[in-house]
Amino acid sequence: MLTLNLPQDSAAPLKILCLGSHSDDIEIGCGGTILRMLSGTQKIEITWIVFASNSEREREARNSAALFLNQATRKEILIKSFRDGFFPFEGAQIKNYFEELKGIAPDLIFTHSRKDAHQDHRLIAELTWNTFRNHLVLEYEIPKYDGDLGQPNLFVPLEQEICETKVRYLMGAFESQRTKPWFGRDTFLALMRLRGMECVAASGYAETFYCHKLVL
């Protein structure tokens, strides 16, 4: 399998925009990939936006982002307070907020899958594509009760140590979620293990994304 790599060691920093509806979405979907990218020598600037929060979940989101983005050259963490579960009904305000993001000019965007079964996730995915029309957009996956896992087409193999760090950060930062039956170390590792098997990752682990448009 031919591997395509993002620029390494270029003088200009790589600008990444991470978008997540809820406080733990970005970490679950692409936390390992972010950790892997930040472990290299490329300068990376990250804008990290969480759209829904309350005071407790904002605190958790900020703590988690600080852990995951520790190695970033520059980071901006923006936590909004749109209403959890009601994004389609707050669409105009969220669309207005996306208009404000047009000045960011990211090289790479991580966002939800446009086929995600959660209405909040789907709206953020749709507005991502609506706002950033000439950008590399990778859509991450979130396991959930609805059972919407599909067949992602872009694989990022991850060292087992990075997967363990991702899960440790998740379990440590999001105390409010630990009572949920799905929010567990085994769920996160199992999905990465299955995706690692699909791409024959040397470590056995990977995160995966949907890439709808890629220019070589």
Q: What's the min distance (Å) between Cβ of 152 and Zn ion? A: 17
Q: Is 139 in the site for Zn ion (CB under 5 A)?
A: no
Q: Is 45 in the site for Zn ion (CB under 5 A)?
A: no
**Cβ closer to Zn ion: 20 or 157?**
20
Distance CA 34, CA 42 (A): 12
Nearest to residue 158, comparing CAs of 14, 35, 19?
A: 35
Q: What's the min distance (Å) between Cβ of 169 and Zn ion? A: 17
Q: Is 27 in the site for Zn ion (CB under 5 A)?
A: no
Size of the site for Zn ion (CB under 5 A): 3
Distance CA 206, CA 214 (A): 20
Q: Is 25 in the site for Zn ion (CB under 5 A)?
A: yes
Q: What's the min distance (Å) between Cβ of 133 and Zn ion? A: 24
Residue nearest to Zn ion (CB): 22
Q: What's the min distance (Å) between Cβ of 104 and Zn ion? A: 22
**Cβ closer to Zn ion: 82 or 201?**
82
DSSP string, 185-209: HHHHHHHHHHHHHHTT-SSS-EEEE
**Cβ closer to Zn ion: 25 or 207?**
25
- Rule CB under 5 A: which of 4-23 touch Zn ion? 21-22
**Cβ closer to Zn ion: 140 or 205?**
140
Q: What's the min distance (Å) between Cβ of 95 and Zn ion? A: 19
Q: Which long-range contacts (CB under 8 A, 24 or more apart) does 98-107 make?
A: 98/127, 98/128, 98/130, 98/131, 99/131, 101/17, 101/49, 101/131, 102/131, 104/15, 104/17, 104/47, 105/15, 106/15, 106/16, 106/17, 106/47, 106/132, 106/135, 107/14, 107/15, 107/16, 107/135, 107/136
Q: Is 193 in the site for Zn ion (CB under 5 A)?
A: no
Binding site for Zn ion (CB under 5 A): 21-22, 25
